[in-house]
């Protein structure tokens, strides 16, 4: 008896060591596959299956894996020996025969017989497939049969249920089924879906092992769904069993999920004492980390590595070391994990990334009476003291981005570990248009084109909007979403009229209304989700309203000269040309002779507009048109005092935008429209009449514009009537320059000179000092040294101080009221002309 007792202790010790991964028995390992088509199963090499079989040891504990799918080919030679009784939920009197092929594909990945001289090798030789037909021949099905299939599997001995299918809809019913399986220690493994969008259900439930797919280069396949619910990835492309006893290549996350389910069967076969959570955690913590370090939303915890799952010791707290903020372990925002706080000196830090503004919900379960303190980086603190605290979550408002969570023992003297389980969830923000769930609560939008974003943040959320339109026109409404969990629907209704519904697409589709004629009044728009969701949806919708008002010409009727709209000077008039024969007449009056300026702007760039000018007797004066592609037409013409008309036409009608007409008039002084009332008007007029100066040829003198050195030399030459000239050697002026002759004469007279570097700088603006120097030279002034500087901003070290002293003392120049002269500022054309006139009048 004593010997038997020792033997049992030895056996129990070995079993315990194997459960913790401390002993690996490879003497009776599964043999390497010799199946003829194993060479086509390259995906098995990515997950290290040969090494996994070697590590599996002699443990051949059978594990029943339920395939809830389209059924299984029950006579397939590579599967027939590895099947247990299943169920046909669609036709209960019949066996679960596969009439699609999908379920057979899944079953072969898991449990195709190894080394039977046929076909391929399944990943888990110890797995037995329980075929459960819950999907139709076309691969479709509903959550009722899916839930029934999971429950059947749990109740009939399945340890693992693989679900290579998905729905975009959350439901309390399915959540209850998932919890039913979890409570009975059954592991659910599900595919995330293949739309490049949000993770589908049931994979999205926290306790379900969600599997995505990667390419042979270990990059997430672009079609594989992703998000905070993703746990693991496995190869996307496989070669597996097919209907009729055949084999075929297949791809998708539905082919990735059974690889993980099979790996779980191997792990459970070697360590039968593990819980479903521990098997799941072991697969996650031994995965090959891909993409960014730690968990990420595109590859989860990484690529399945079956050999490591069978050989590495199970870590009860796989997130260590994470006792400091800079070591925080990344945690998905929808997950369920277990860990422990080793002692009072151990803090557990987690980093949770939110894709939107909203609320993080956190359920913390610990059986320890002293409790765990939860701190968020926002400063909020909560405490969980026992299991009852886990019934209600801690809820904290967060903004899009990262939030840190710190867990620590309440008892700061504690020396023993505190195990805990943690469940995280997220509730998206309430959009700023709430409360607008009823039509009478519709949020009022301005009557224009616009784009807004909203959310479905609560159960049965509907969003109503009302658009108040003042003008007839056209409208198109677009509704898009950023997640496949929303099947968007639009409803549009003019107040008092029948509503129209737009639901042309399915999950995640863009919904677009037809281009509608609209009239003044209120238009109601309802945004909703076709699905009957019982929970908020993590995602946003975008509502885009394109409204083009049918504009009304306020000047009509003005199609005849006797109907002409009177245009007051400097006022803006808007108009349309709503037919190809439409013309618009405007009348304006010149109180006195001068320059008339007509500016026509906001012309559609695809149109040509014509303007005809008439006098009071309707005699045509001029005809004008804008350049093709230009949105404006500018007219200037000198006119006598009197009444005039402008007739506007276009090469094609337009109603989408209004042209703008503005008419102005300016009195011409000495031929210029911009010097009336200017302080230098008299000097400009005098020198203009003497032929010394001229403007820019468009009725403008530009008195406040800086004068260039070439312009100054030209004006001085004319004013002094210089005739002798000197050949110039400046590197920046040759005989082709327009001012060459004038500069040459001014240089000969000693009035101007160049710079030490051999240039003249004809286009450089003249400074006030250079202006003073030129005018002093024209009067043969050389400057004087005696006396104090007349200006506070010029000292005796300044190069032109002598000239400034002489010009100031003789009364030729004066500074500003504050006693400064600003010698290096630009001299304007008005300043130069005024000083020159003073010199000429001396």
Q: Which of 33, 164, 253, 254 is catalytic?
A: 254
Q: DSSP label at 280?
A: H
Give me the residue label for tokens 């007051």.
568
Distance of CA 352 to the CA centre of its chain: 21
Distance of CA 814 to the CA centre of its chain: 61
Cα separation, 88 vs 740, whole angstroms: 102
Active site (annotated) includes residue 6: no
Cα separation, 348 vs 369, whole angstroms: 18
Q: Which residues face 493 on adjacent strands?
A: 524
Q: By the 8 A CB rule, do 96 and 73 touch? A: no
Cα separation, 163 vs 256, whole angstroms: 11
Cα separation, 719 vs 837, whole angstroms: 9
Cβ neighbors of 815 (< 8 A, separation 6 or more) are 790, 791, 808, 821, 822
Q: Work out the angle at residue 544's Cα, subtended by the Cα atoms of residues 542 and 550, and round it to the nearest 5 degrees.
A: 170
Cα separation, 113 vs 124, whole angstroms: 9
Active site (annotated) includes residue 411: no
Cα separation, 693 vs 686, whole angstroms: 9
Cα separation, 177 vs 144, whole angstroms: 10
Closest CA to 462 of 425, 433, 497, 493: 433
Kindly list the distances between the CA atom of residue 795 and the CA atoms of 785, 800, 821, 823, in Å, as whole numbers in the listed order.
12, 10, 11, 11
Closest CA to 203 of 255, 237, 168, 236: 168
Helix (H) / strand (E) element for 622: namely: strand 620-625
Helix (H, G, I), strand (E, B) or coil at 144: helix
Active site (annotated) includes residue 102: yes
Q: Which of 35, 48, 73, 102 is catalytic?
A: 102
Helix (H, G, I), strand (E, B) or coil at 833: helix
Cα separation, 487 vs 529, whole angstroms: 5
Segments of 701-840 assigned E as strands: none
Q: By the 8 A CB rule, do 59 and 265 touch? A: no
Cα separation, 387 vs 364, whole angstroms: 8
Q: Which of 33, 35, 48, 69 is catalytic?
A: 69
Give me the residue label for tokens 């079609």.
223
Q: By the 8 A CB rule, do 209 and 188 touch? A: yes
Q: By the 8 A CB rule, do 706 and 826 touch? A: yes
> Is the Cα torsion angle 263, 265, 270, 275 positive or negative in sign?
positive
CB-based burial label for 839 (10 Å; 0-12, 13-18, 19+): middle
Helix (H, G, I), strand (E, B) or coil at 297: coil
Helix (H, G, I), strand (E, B) or coil at 207: coil
Cα separation, 99 vs 97, whole angstroms: 6
Active site residues: 69, 102, 254
């Amino acid at each position: 008896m004593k010997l038997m007792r020792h033997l049992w202790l030895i056996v129990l010790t070995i079993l315990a060591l194997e459960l913790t991964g401390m002993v690996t028995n490879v003497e009776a390992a599964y043999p390497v596959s010799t199946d003829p088509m194993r060479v086509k199963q390259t995906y098995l090499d990515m997950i290290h299956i040969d090494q996994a079989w070697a590590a599996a040891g002699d443990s051949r504990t059978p594990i029943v894996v339920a395939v809830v799918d389209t059924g299984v080919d029950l006579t397939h030679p590579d599967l027939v020996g590895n099947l247990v009784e299943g169920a046909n939920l669609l036709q209960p009197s019949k066996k679960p025969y596969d009439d699609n092929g999908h379920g057979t594909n899944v079953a072969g990945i898991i449990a195709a017989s190894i080394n039977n001289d046929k076909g391929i090798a399944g990943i888990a030789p110890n797995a037995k497939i329980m075929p459960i037909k819950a999907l139709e021949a076309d691969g479709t099905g509903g959550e009722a049969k899916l839930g029934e299939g999971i429950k059947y599997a749990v109740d009939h001995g399945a340890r693992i249920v693989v679900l290579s299918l998905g729905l975009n809809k959350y439901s309390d019913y399915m959540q209850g089924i998932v919890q039913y399986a979890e409570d009975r220690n059954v592991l659910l493994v599900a595919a995330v879906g293949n739309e490049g969008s949000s993770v589908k259900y049931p994979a999205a439930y926290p306790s379900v092992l969600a599997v995505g797919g990667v390419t042979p280069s270990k990059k997430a396949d672009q079609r594989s769904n992703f998000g905070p619910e993703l746990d693991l990835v496995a190869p996307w492309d496989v070669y597996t069993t097919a209907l009729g006893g055949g084999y075929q290549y297949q791809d998708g996350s539905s082919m990735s999920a059974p690889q993980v389910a099979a790996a779980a069967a191997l792990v459970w076969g070697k360590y039968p004492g593990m819980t479903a959570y521990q098997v799941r955690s072991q697969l996650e913590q031994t995965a090959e980390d891909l993409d960014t370090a730690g968990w990420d939303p595109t590859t989860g915890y990484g690529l399945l590595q079956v050999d490591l799952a069978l050989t590495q010791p199970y870590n009860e707290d796989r997130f260590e070391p994470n006792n400091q903020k800079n070591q925080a372990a990344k945690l998905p925002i929808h997950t369920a994990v277990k860990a422990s706080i080793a002692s009072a000196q151990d803090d557990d830090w987690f980093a949770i990334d939110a894709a939107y503004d909203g609320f993080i919900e956190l359920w913390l379960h610990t059986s320890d009476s002293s409790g765990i303190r939860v701190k968020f980086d926002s400063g909020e603190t909560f405490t969980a003291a026992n299991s009852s605290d886990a019934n209600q979550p801690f809820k904290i408002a967060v903004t899009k981005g990262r939030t840190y969570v710190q867990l620590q023992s309440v008892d700061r003297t504690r020396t023993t570990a505190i195990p805990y389980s943690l469940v995280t969830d997220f509730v998206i923000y309430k959009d700023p248009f709430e409360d607008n769930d009823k039509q009478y609560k519709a949020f009022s939008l301005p009557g224009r084109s616009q784009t807004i974003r909203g959310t479905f943040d609560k159960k049965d959320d509907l969003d109503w909007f009302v658009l108040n339109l003042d003008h007839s026109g056209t409208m198109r409404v677009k509704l898009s979403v950023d997640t496949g969990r929303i099947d968007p629907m639009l409803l549009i209704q003019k107040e008092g009229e029948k509503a129209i519904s737009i639901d042309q697409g399915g999950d995640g589709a863009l919904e677009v209304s037809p281009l509608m004629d609209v009239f003044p009044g209120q238009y109601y728009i309802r945004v909703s989700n076709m699905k009957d969701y019982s929970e908020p949806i993590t995602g946003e919708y975008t509502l885009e309203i394109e409204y083009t008002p049918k504009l009304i010409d306020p000047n009509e009727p003005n199609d005849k000269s006797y109907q002409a709209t009177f245009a007051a000077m400097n006022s803006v008039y808007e108009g349309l040309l709503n037919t190809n024969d439409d013309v618009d007449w405007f009348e304006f009056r010149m109180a006195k002779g001068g320059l008339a300026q007509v500016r026509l702007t906001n012309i559609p760039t695809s149109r040509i507009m014509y303007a005809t000018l008439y006098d009071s007797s309707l005699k045509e004066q001029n005809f004008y048109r804008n350049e093709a592609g230009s949105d404006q037409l500018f007219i200037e013409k000198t006119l006598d005092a009197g009444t005039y008309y402008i007739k506007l036409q276009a090469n094609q009608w337009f109603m989408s935008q209004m042209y703008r007409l503005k008419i102005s008039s300016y009195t011409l002084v000495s031929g210029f429209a911009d010097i009336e009332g200017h302080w230098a008007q008299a000097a400009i007029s005098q020198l203009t009449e003497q032929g010394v100066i001229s403007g820019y040829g468009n009725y403008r003198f530009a008195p406040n514009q800086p004068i260039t050195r070439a312009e100054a030399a030209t004006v001085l030459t004319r004013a002094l009537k210089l005739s002798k000239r000197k050949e110039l050697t400046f590197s920046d002026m040759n005989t082709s320059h327009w001012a060459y002759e004038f500069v040459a004469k001014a240089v000969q007279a000693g009035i101007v000179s160049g710079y030490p570097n051999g240039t003249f700088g004809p286009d450089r603006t003249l400074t006030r000092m250079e202006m003073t120097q030129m005018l002093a030279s024209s009067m043969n002034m050389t400057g004087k040294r005696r006396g104090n500087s007349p200006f506070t901003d010029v000292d005796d070290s300044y190069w032109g101080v002598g000239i400034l002293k002489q010009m100031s003392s003789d009364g030729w120049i004066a500074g500003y009221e504050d006693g400064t002269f600003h010698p290096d500022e630009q001299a304007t054309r008005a300043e130069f002309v005024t000083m020159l006139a003073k010199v000429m009048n001396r």
